[in-house]
Structures are given as C-alpha cells and as structure tokens.
Structure 1
Amino acid sequence: MLKAISSFSIRGKLVRLITDSASNNIAAFSGLIIPGFECYFQRDDDDELYSDWYNDGEQTESDDAKIDNNVPLDVQDVVKQFLDSIAIDDESFRLPCYAHSIQLAINDGLKGSTCVQPSLEKISKIAKLSHSSIAVAERLENIQVCVPNPNKTRWNSQYDMVVAVIGIQPSALNDILIQAQHRELCLKSLDYQMLNEFVSLSTLFAEATTTTQAQKTPSVSIVASSILAIYQDLLLERANVKHASSLCECLLESLLSRFGGMLEQMLLVIDISEKKKKKNFYDLFKDPVFLVVPFLDGRFRLNWISSSSLLEQVQEELSSKIQQLVLEQCILIEQVNAPLGTTENDNPILSPTAQTQPLSASAATSPITPKRKYLFTNIVKETKKPKSDPFSYIKDEIFKYLNDENADDMVLLKPSNIYPTLSKLAMKFLSIPATSAPVERVFSQSGFLFR
C-alpha cells in the first residue's frame, strides 16, 4: 500500500487511513455469537468462512493456533510489519474502523448477559425451529411473520432475530409452539421483561452498526453523535433496568474503554482507570476530526449537541470549541491552497500585519512608554479605526451556515459560492469513511469467486 501511495503521488490527498492493528486484520475468528445462540450455530460451520474482523487484538492461545494453521508465517510477518509501521510512523494518520470498534464493545459487553441467557436460548431455539420445521414456518407465514436468519459474524443479525421473535403476538407464538409440541419454549412474562431490556440496551449499538455502513451519505459524521447518544442512553438505562443491570454495566465499561477519549474531547469527565483503557482505541478516538466532521454535515451541524442531555454550560463550551476547530481548519486549508505566486502582503493569512498584530498591541501598552494624554478621550476613541480581522469572511461563512435551514447532508458538497471555504473543508473531511467494512466485504466476496 505504501508503494501504491508513493507511485500515484497521492500522499497529500490522503486525510486518514481507516485500518486496525495487525492482529485484528490477520486473525480469522469464528464470529461473535450472543450468549444463548450457540445452539443455533451448532451445525452451521460454513459461516466460519465469513469471519473477518471481530476480535480485539488480544489473542488467546487457541486463537493464535488458528492463525498459524491458516495463514503462512511469511504473510503474517509482511502484513504485521506493514500495519505496525503505519501505527508507529504516523499514528495520527490512522483511525480505527468504527463498526469494528462497536462490535468489539458489544462483544465485551455481552459477557455480562448471563442473566438474560436462558431467555435468549429460548429465542435461539424458536428461530431454529422456524427455519427447520415446515409446519412452524407455514404457521408463522399465515400470521405474516418472517424470522430473519442470523449470521455468526454479524451480531446485529442476531439482534434483529430477537426483535422479530418478541414482536410476535405472545398468544399466537405460544399457540404455534404448543401445536409443534415445544411447550418448553413458550415465553413467559419474565422472559419478555428480560428480552425487552436486552433489546433496549442493544438497540442504539445495532443502529450505529448499520448506519455507519451507509454508502451514499457521509458516514464519519455520525461517529461522535452516536457515541454520545449511546453513552447517555446507557447512563439512563442503568437507573431503570431491573434484570439486565450486569449487562448494562459491562456495555458501559466496554464503551468507555474504547471511546472514552472521544467523550473527553466532548468535555465530559470520564471515570475509568488507566488499566482498563484500550490504548489502541482510546487515544486514537481523541482525534479532533470526529468533532469537526459533524459540523460539516447538514444533518447535524451543532444540533446533535443542543439536543443532547449535556448541561447547558457544557453545550455552549463544546459548541464554541467545535466552531474554533472548524475556523482553525479553514485557515489551514486556505493557507495550503493559497496560489504559489501570492506574496505575504497579498495573503491576509500570511501577512506580517496579521501575524504581528497582537505583538504591536502589547508594545503600545508597555510600561516603558508612558501613555499619551488626551483632553477629549471619547472623541479620540471614536476616531480610532477598528482592527481588521483577516479571517472575518470565514467567521461570516460559519455564522451563515449555522443559520441555514437546509438539512441536506451534502449541502456543503454541492456546487455553490455561498460557502467556498467550508466546501473545501467538507470535501476533505467528509470523504473519510467511518468503517472499512464495505471494502472488507468486497474482498470476502471476491475470495469466494476465486475459490
């Protein structure tokens, strides 16, 4: 990849490289299975071909053995050396795959779902029965119900299956199970309570997993807003859940261990020990790009902050911080795009006046030079010329954009002279994909074709 970047001279066009650590990319895993769903996949070994990106890079001995048996050592060394070189040489250039990180947070969090496991096992067996019994499938079809097939490597497909089953009218579902002589699978009131709490805790994770893989709209702009929403939702759920409290705590701890750095950038106080931080995620998600990009998406701007449950003071400070970050990035992009023949006097960003203005002001008030006296100070003040702001046109753009009612996500990418500087910034940052999942899926499918 480094040779390709050099050959095509595109290093200056790359904004961020979305990839994960070497061990995450090399390892082949059996997938992420929600506890209680093991029985559904007992004889479904073909799904192992699809496993690609659901581990945290902290290998167990059995996992290492799988790698050694499936991937030649020389290939492992080459890939590992390449990915490690990216991480070491330019860590700020690399960002983790967001969908991958969400999956890993769910994977750790589900370790606390033992309280819901008996109810999930019932769901798993009901789903398997609906896919293996013609009689049950026909009865479900008669009431216009279709239970989706789950996949080992897509945890949200298993989540969708749970939602589909508990969405069936309880009396109708129990009648079908009794007729099929599977009375032991009938869901009781307690089962529904536990399953509803499981769904409530998982629903935003599932939505983020799906939404972040959008291909026709910017995806990286949803990262910060979705993490804030998930975090605040888990805090709210922690006070309300009765049966799945351990699952809620595990999900919250797992979320903070990876995305706590991003939440810190949102001016939140995160209570987590250094030992629990996943450094290969925690620090990388501190990248300010995650705060800048939502501003450039017409769907979000600063609305995702004002609609949150953050304290009003935090909302104001965070909004000001983001606007300052956007201003700085606009100034930087204007400086980079300045014509080569432009002199310092022609470019307000590079002009000595703009650069030394604060220095001149401090010299005027120096105690060494006595302040001159005036009789009519009010008249003198009125005749003073206001200091020129070389970046006022950018600030005007930002103000106008914030008051624009157009909620199109591509508003800054459409041909227009209204936001010339913001459009350049949007072209740069909205091109960043939040996840490498679509690309990995293409490679997986091409692999099947070559077989």
Structure 2
Amino acid sequence: MNFLKQFFEFTRPGNNNISGQCKLCGKLYADKLKSTGNFHKHLKRKHTKQYEESKFSDSIPPKTDTNDYSENLTSNVIKINQVMLEELIVKSPKWKPASARHFTKTLLPSLLNDVQDKIKNLLDNVDHLCITVDVWTDRRGRSFLGVTGHFLDLEYVPQALLLDFLRLKGPHTGENIQNITIQILDNMKIKGKVYRIITDNASSMIKAYKFGLSVTDVDYTIQDDNKQQQDDDYDGLSEWLLVDWCENNNDLFDKGDDPAKRLSCFAHSLQLTIRDGLKYTPYLSKSLSKCIKLARRSHKSTKVADILDDIGKTINKSNMTRWSSEYLLIKSIIGLGRKSIDEITDVIDDNGVKFSNDDFVILQEAVQILEPFAEITSRIQSESVVTASLVVPSVVHIIDHLKNIKPNISFLKKMCLQLEQATNERFSGIVKRLSQQIVYKDDPFSDPIYFVCTVLDPEFKLFWLIQMNYTPILESQMKQHLIQMILNECEKSIDISFDNLESSLSSSTLITNSHTTQSVDASILKKRKLFQYDERFNSSFGSTITPINEINVYINDPIRSRFSLYWENSDLCGLKGIVKRAFSVQATSAPIERVFSQAGIIMSPRRTSMSEEVFKSLVFLRVNQNMI
C-alpha cells in the first residue's frame, strides 16, 4: 500500500471498500479493503514506464557483507546432511514405496469392507429410513445407480449414508431400476425398514416405484358402526369439533398399502413449476436473450473483462438446464448498474445487447418474482437440517408471495398467473389440502406426511397458517385436520383401536375459537402443564397419556428451539416415535445428486481408464468418509 501511495490519492475506506484517484491521469478506481489488484492493473496498463521504474528501485537490496552468512550456511548444510545419513538412510535401508497395485488390490478392498460393515451395524439399530435413488452416466457412457439412506440418530440429528453405487447395465426401464434397488436393500437387510423413496419425475422412476416396496405395517379398518357413532357424537356441534380429514371416500388412502411409496423430488418439481411460469412471456424472453448474449460476449472480450475487473464484479453464465442460473445471470446484470451496462454494451458495439429502460424494469420484476423460489431451492436442499417440514411452508409462501406481488407488477403479470397455475397443478395435493378440498391419491404431493412433518417441526408448528389468511372458522377446521393427520400417523406406531382413539378424542376438549392461537383449549392445557410438576400427577400421567394429550402439550409448548435439540430433550415419547419415522423423509433427491457430483470429480478427464470396481469403491468411500 505504501508503494501505491506515490501514484494514488486514497480516500478513507468504508463498507469494506477503498477508492483512490490516480495522480498521473486523474481516474478513480475502487477495490476491496486489503486488496490492491485493481490499482496495480491500472498502473501496469496505463503507466507502465513509471510503474516499472518505481518497482525496480524498490527491489534493489542494500549492500551487505556476505562472508559471515556463507560460513553459517555451509555449517548448517553439513549438519543437515549428517542427520539424513544417520537417521534416514541407516535406519530405513530397505524401505520401498507401496505400488498402485497394492493400493487397488489390497488396501482399497480392505477399507471398503470395513466401512460396509460399519454401515450395516449402524443400520441394524435403525427402525425407519428413507432412500433417494437416481441414475448417473460417467464420461465413458457407463450408467450407475446410486441409493442413499437417511434417518435420525439417537440425538435426532439427520444422518445420510451412501448405501451402494452399482453399475446399471441394460435399458433404464422401471423394472430394471426396481430390481437393482431391491437387490441393494436385500443385501443390507433393510428392505423392511424403508419408509419412503425419493426420486425425480422421470417416467422410469415413477414406474419403478409405482407400488413401492414390500414393508409390513400396522393395519386398521374403520367400522361402519364406529363412523355412525362418530356422526352422532358430532351432531349439532357444526364445524367447531374435529373434522375427519378422510370424510370423503375419494380422499381415503388405503392403510394396508405399502408405506414405502415413492415421493417426488420437491426441488425438481419446483424447477418444472418455474419453467412453466417462464413459458410464453415475450417481454421477459426478449430481455433475457439480451442477458444471455451479453454474458457470452463478455466472457470472450478482454476489454469487457477489464471493465468488470475495474468495478470488481462479474457476469454469471447461463445454464439452460437450471432456471437458477438464469436468475443469477439476471441478478448479476442488474447489480452492475445502468452506467456500467451502457459502458460494456458500447465496447461490444452490438445493438442486439443494448438495454432499454423497459428492459431494466422487466429484469427487476423478474428478480422480485423469482427471489423466493431461489431462496426455497437453496434451503430445501440443505444437508444438515431436516427438509420434509419445509415443503408445505414453502408452497404456502409461494402462494402468498404471488398473490401479493401481482398488483405491483407492470410487465410480467402473465408470468405470475402462469406460476400460480403451475403451482396449483404440480403441488395439487398440498394446495387442495390447504383449500380443504378432496385429495386424490394420484395428486402430486398428496402424501399427508408433509403436513405431519411441518406441524411436528418446532420451527413451524401451526404458525405458518397465518399466511393463508383463513377466516376464523376455516382456520379452526384446518388445525383440526392437521391434528387428525398426526393421529393417523400415531395409529401406525401404537396398537390402539379406532374405538379407543375416538373415545380419547371425545374425552379431550378440541374446541377452537377465533381467539386461540393454537388448536386446543388453552385453559385445560394450562392445568395439565401445571400438574406436570406435581409428583402424584406425574406418576399417573405417564401411564394414561394418549396421542391427543401429547399433541395438545406439544402444540401449546411456547418453546421454539432447534429441531434436534427440542426432540432430544422432549418427554413426549409417543410423538418422538412419529418424529423418528416421519423426519427420515427427504424433501428432495439432492443427496444422491451430491453423490454424482463427487463421482464426476473422481472420474476426471485424465482418469477415464479407471476400472469399474476401483471407481465404485472410491465413490463409496469418498461419500462415506465419516465412517472411515
């Protein structure tokens, strides 16, 4: 920095930036604090002679007497050589480096077997897990099928493992994919533990797991006389009482079905939703094409690169397979500012990439519309947190966002309408439940597990309902529907008859009015929470607690701590069992996509001759490196 002060007049730094005016030509440049790259580049390009002269004068070292230095250096070299002779050569006269064959034929298989044994022992203590499945093709055109497993550990922390990475030979048919998946699960003896299967929306994946896998679960039937008795009990109480979510036969899910059913990847469905929204939007298409042209030209022009270096910014590249790349491209161009864009387009000298005022308005509207989608996409694919509980709040947020932003949009109203329509179609199961309509089994995202996970996540509970702007009556009904879904999940874990469950519902006060923030009577719950600290109450409460009691306690618990911390320290044993099973579900197939990213790094262009067995072993160990 002292060297640059002879050429620049620096201003006081702020916001982690520093600016300086060149004393030779008067131009103003900026750079990040503690970074001087832009200033040096300017001197090298514009004032080469002065820059080199100053550099040369500073690089001339002062004259010193080197006699003492040479003597010390010679003495040190002699000492080092003596140590090497005595310690290294004498003590290890026959040492030889291990050969590549030793690594691939001995060490790698041994390490692979150790990790596989550890994974099998770990999964022996897991009751439920979710798997993600996908197919990947390497640089040589060979296809591989990967399967990851997901579960909650004893501390309720999400865990992920690569179960296997096998060669997929032959056509990518649904039957072939299913057979290899079952082979992997049978080898690890975990087929009966699989709760859900997450894949993308490829036709082969849908066909492969259309009927899931064979997993035994607790069955129950609803007797006609029980239903009649239920109707009699609710007669005259209207909508204030718990409404049975499965009131219409069209909304019934067969409880005897294989629970290891397939679920769609939320991120993939969200991307398709956005693609549908971006269709037939001439205003945005025209402006976006300019952005793409500008990005291509800027990466080929050294003059544009110099301008971007001077202002310390870049233009993102576009990727046709991912909408997020187009969003980031638009955002990066808007971030340059109108002045810089005009300067760049003048250098390119192409009328096809010049931006008008309307173009900037359109691009800004596109960013405003798509920003929540980008945030959701990023968070829903997280590795370290539970993700199934994010699905319903994400859809609710999208619905609310599009509804509120439409009045403020000038050019892209059609895009908003198309996004709304695509959301309603691609997430129809969730949207229908939010609207309290009949949900069919084949509706996308019709599985109630998404609502169960959302309510059982302390971050959300029922707080997200405020975005739906329900009337008090509709909100009350919706809360009761959500409770019923959790009770249905409880029946899969607890050996309880439907009659007993209805009795517990009848004996528990579930009336909700417009003044309560949660779904049960607050006064009764306060008494229960108070009596929990009484030893006599605790001694009897643990033996008579019912699912509805635990739900009441949980819903009205004011604590909103992190998911893992909350459930690890919770005393709600019944709900903890539901949480262990339900939150094994992944919202997306991102985990297996990350495996393929690692596989692509291992199979680099210089390593395409690697054998299949070595490649599979390296991928398996790389992804499961925490088990080594």
Percentage identity across aligned positions? 25
What's 2:584 paired with?
431
What's 1:311 paired with?
471
Q: Give the Å deviation of 1:357.
A: 5.9
What's 1:87 paired with?
210
Alignment check: 8 A CA contact 2:397 2:467 kept: no
Alignment check: 8 A CA contact 1:17 1:94 kept: no
Judged with a 3 Å threshold, the aligned counterparts in structure 2 of structure 1 residues 446 and 314 are, in CA distance, closer, same or farther, namely same
What's 1:320 paired with?
480
Q: Give the Å deviation of 1:351.
A: 12
* Selected match of 1:210 from 378, 386, 389: 378
Q: Give the Å deviation of 1:143.
A: 2.0
Judged with a 3 Å threshold, the aligned counterparts in structure 2 of structure 1 residues 422 and 412 are, in CA distance, closer, same or farther, namely farther
1:223-302 map, 5 Å: 223-268=391-436, 283-302=443-462
Q: Residue 410 of structure 1: SS of its match in structure 2? A: helix
Gaps of 5+ in 1: 1-6, 20-24, 29-45, 53-70, 271-276, 336-348, 362-387
Alignment check: 8 A CA contact 2:365 2:409 kept: yes
Distance 1:81 1:427 in 2: 26
Distance 1:189 1:327 in 2: 56
What's 2:275 paired with?
107
What's 1:333 paired with?
493
Q: Deviation per CA, 1:423-445, whole angstroms, max 9, x where unpaired?
A: 22222111211111231231254
Q: Give the Å deviation of 1:85.
A: 4.7
Distance 2:443 2:127 in 1: 24
What's 1:370 paired with?
none
Q: Give the Å deviation of 1:189.
A: 1.5
Alignment check: 8 A CA contact 2:132 2:591 kept: no
Q: Deviation per CA, 1:101-153, whole angstroms, max 9, x where unpaired?
A: 11122222221222211111111122223322232223223223222333333
Q: Give the Å deviation of 1:447.
A: 4.8
Amino acid at match of 2:560: N
What's 1:442 paired with?
595
Alignment check: 8 A CA contact 1:412 1:422 kept: no
Normalising by structure 1, what TM-score? Answer: 0.67
Q: Give the Å deviation of 1:285.
A: 0.9
Distance 1:351 1:229 in 2: 35
What's 1:410 paired with?
564
1:165 aligns with 2:333: yes
Distance 2:503 2:548 in 1: 18
Q: Deviation per CA, 1:277-320, whole angstroms, max 9, x where unpaired?
A: 9x99x624111101110112221111111244343433222222
What's 2:626 paired with?
none
What's 1:67 paired with?
none
Distance 1:203 1:194 in 2: 14
Q: Give the Å deviation of 1:420.
A: 2.5
Q: Deviation per CA, 1:177-205, whole angstroms, max 9, x where unpaired?
A: 32443465332221112112222222222
1:144 aligns with 2:312: yes
Amino acid at match of 1:404: P
User: How many residues matched?
Assistant: 352
Alignment check: 8 A CA contact 1:18 1:97 kept: no
Q: Give the Å deviation of 1:334.
A: 3.5
Distance 1:357 1:317 in 2: 20
Alignment check: 8 A CA contact 2:316 2:328 kept: yes
Q: Give the Å deviation of 1:356.
A: 9.6
What's 1:116 paired with?
284
* Selected match of 1:399 from 549, 552, 555: 552
Normalising by structure 2, what TM-score? Answer: 0.49
Q: Residue 394 of structure 2: SS of its match in structure 1? A: helix
Structure richer in strand, relative to its length: 2
Gaps of 5+ in 2: 1-119, 146-167, 180-204, 213-256, 508-540, 609-628
Q: Which has the larger radius of gyration?
A: 2
Q: Residue 264 of structure 1: SS of its match in structure 2? A: helix
